[in-house]
């Protein structure tokens, strides 16, 4: 455990580039809710650099999508709960407690949704700024190949993390992973269309 000059404990994240996908996403989400001061500000700035900005954006989008899916599921559960009690005598205190718990959960989920939505916009702006600042690199095919390489590695790391953690992949995970097989880049002297997964497997992008 490290301490700052005032003797307060602080957390050392190390280089986020070396983090596995799940802790990386947790870090990005936590910083999206933080004041981004001191060490947190430095770490957030690191997440917005060229080699991590796309990974950060994808992590926040995944968390955002999961929250929206949970909100929809909770609304459906509450609808079923109310429909099942139509015409049935219900304890007033129990009903009020259930309603209060549902409303409080919705408020927390809505705050989470809004905060992540704003963070995603901030990261998107940072990404656009990086592209603008790249200057003549915008017309350089190698620049885009490097960007694709970063994306491919991030998707592969995400898939590996879920598989190693015995986590059941959701539809949006499978759609993301499919890009490794469906997106191609020209490869070799003959510019043969080669999938991102093949580029990784053949260690062209080692």
Q: What confidence tens digit (pLDDT) does each residue in 47-64 have?
A: 999 889 999 999 999 999
> Are residue 123 and residue 143 in the same domain, yes or no?
no
Q: Do 6 and 97 belong together in one domain? A: yes
Domain tally for the chain?
2
Range of the domain at 156: 137-206
Among candidate residues 149, 129, 158, the one with its CA nearest the CA of residue 58 = 158
72, 106, 133: which is the final residue of a domain? 133
Statement to judge: residues 44 and 25 lie in one domain: yes
154 and 206 belong to one structural domain: yes
Nearest Cα to 26, choosing from 60, 58, 64, 77?
60
Examine the domain organization and report whether 66 and 4 are in the same domain. Answer: yes
The b-or-e profile of 146-185 (16+ CB within 10 A means b, else e) is ebbbbbbbbbbebbebbeeeeeeeeeebeebbeebeebeb
Same domain, residue pair 165 and 100? no
Q: Which of 81, 114, 133 is the last residue of a domain?
A: 133
Confidence of residue 135 (pLDDT cuts 50, 70, 90): low
Q: Are residues 162 and 105 in the same domain?
A: no
User: How many C-beta atoms lie closer than 10 Å to residue 125's C-beta?
Assistant: 11
Within this chain, do residues 69 and 156 fall inside the same structural domain, yes or no? no
Tens-digit pLDDT profile for residues 184-194: 888 777 778 88
Express as a percent the part of the chain with pLDDT over 90.
36
Considering 98, 133, 168, which residue would you say is the last residue of a domain?
133
Give pLDDT tens digits for 63-121. 999 999 999 999 999 999 888 888 788 788 888 999 999 999 999 999 999 999 999 99
Residue 34 has pLDDT above 60, yes or no: yes
**Helix intervals (H) in the chain:** 21-33, 39-47, 53-83, 92-133, 141-164, 171-182, 196-201
What is the rounded CA–CA span in Å between residue 169 and residue 158? 10
């Amino acid at each position: 455990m490290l301490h700052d000059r005032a003797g307060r404990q602080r957390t050392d994240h190390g280089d986020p580039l070396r983090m596995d996908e799940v802790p990386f996403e947790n870090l990005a989400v936590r910083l999206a809710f933080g004041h981004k001061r001191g060490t947190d500000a430095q770490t957030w700035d690191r997440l917005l650099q060229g080699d991590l900005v796309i990974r950060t954006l994808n992590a926040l989008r995944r968390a955002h999508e999961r929250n929206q899916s949970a909100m929809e599921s909770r609304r459906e559960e509450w609808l079923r709960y109310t429909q099942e009690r139509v015409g049935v005598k219900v304890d007033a205190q129990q009903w009020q407690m259930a309603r209060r718990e549902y409303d409080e959960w919705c408020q927390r989920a809505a705050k989470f949704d809004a905060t992540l939505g704003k963070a995603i916009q901030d990261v998107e702006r940072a990404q656009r700024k990086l592209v603008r600042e790249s200057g003549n690199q915008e017309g350089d095919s190698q620049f885009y190949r490097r960007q694709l390489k970063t994306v491919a590695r991030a998707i592969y790391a995400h898939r590996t993390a879920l598989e190693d953690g015995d986590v059941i992949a959701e539809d949006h995970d499978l759609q993301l992973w499919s890009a490794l097989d469906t997106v191609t880049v020209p490869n070799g002297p003959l510019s043969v269309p080669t999938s991102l997964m093949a580029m990784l497997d053949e260690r062209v992008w080692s």
